[in-house]
């Protein structure tokens, strides 16, 4: 079973529209960490946010905001007033704090390709 599901494979919007990228995760751990990464066409992975399972406060950073809901195991990412430069693949990822572990291996979702048209 997938630990991280990003059901939206591709999304296209027109500049200035708001867009939400969905992420649903699955874990039995009570302590875990969720991440979003951006992968622009150049290919690198750019860190956007990290959230631990005990902090359900939503976060806003400029045009970006994240909605973490443990009740639905979701960690959705919204871009407000999208811009062409937001075009990229966005990955959601999970790290579990298993007992005795593993130093935080990341499980990635399959990514959502966002295209913002001018």
Partner 1 sequence: EPEVTQTPSHQVTQMGQEVILRCVPISNHLYFYWYRQILGQKVEFLVSFYNNEISEKSEIFDDQFSVERPDGSNFTLKIRSTKLEDSAMYFCASSDSPRRYGYTFGSGTRLTVV
Q: Which residues bind partner 1 (CB under 8 A)?
A: 33, 35, 37, 42-45, 47, 50, 52, 91, 93, 95, 97, 101-111
Compute the distance between CA of residue 13 and CA of residue 94 in angstroms, rounded to an integer: 27
Nearer Cβ to partner 1 (11/97): 97
How many CB atoms sit inside 10 A of residue 101's CB? 11
CB of 45: closest distance to partner 1 in angstroms? Answer: 4
Contacts of 37 by beta carbon, 8 Å cutoff, 6+ apart? 45, 46, 47, 48, 90, 91, 93, 108
Q: By C-beta, is 29 or 78 nearer to partner 1?
A: 29
Q: Which is nearer to partner 1, 27 or 95 (CB)?
A: 95
Closest approach, Cβ 27 to partner 1, in A, equals 14
Neighbours of 56 (CB within 10 A): 12
């Amino acid at each position: 079973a997938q630990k991280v599901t990003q059901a939206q494979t591709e999304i296209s919007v027109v500049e200035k529209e708001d867009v939400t990228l969905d992420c649903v995760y699955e874990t039995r751990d009570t302590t875990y960490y969720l991440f979003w990464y951006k992968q622009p066409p150049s290919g690198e992975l750019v860190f956007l946010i990290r959230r631990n399972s005990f902090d359900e406060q939503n976060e806003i950073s400029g045009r970006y905001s994240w909605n973490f809901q443990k009740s639905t195991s979701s960690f959705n990412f919204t871009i407000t007033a999208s811009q062409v430069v937001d075009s990229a693949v966005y990955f959601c990822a999970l790290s579990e704090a298993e007992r005795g572990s593993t130093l935080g291996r990341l499980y990635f979702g399959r990514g959502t390709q966002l295209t913002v048209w001018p």
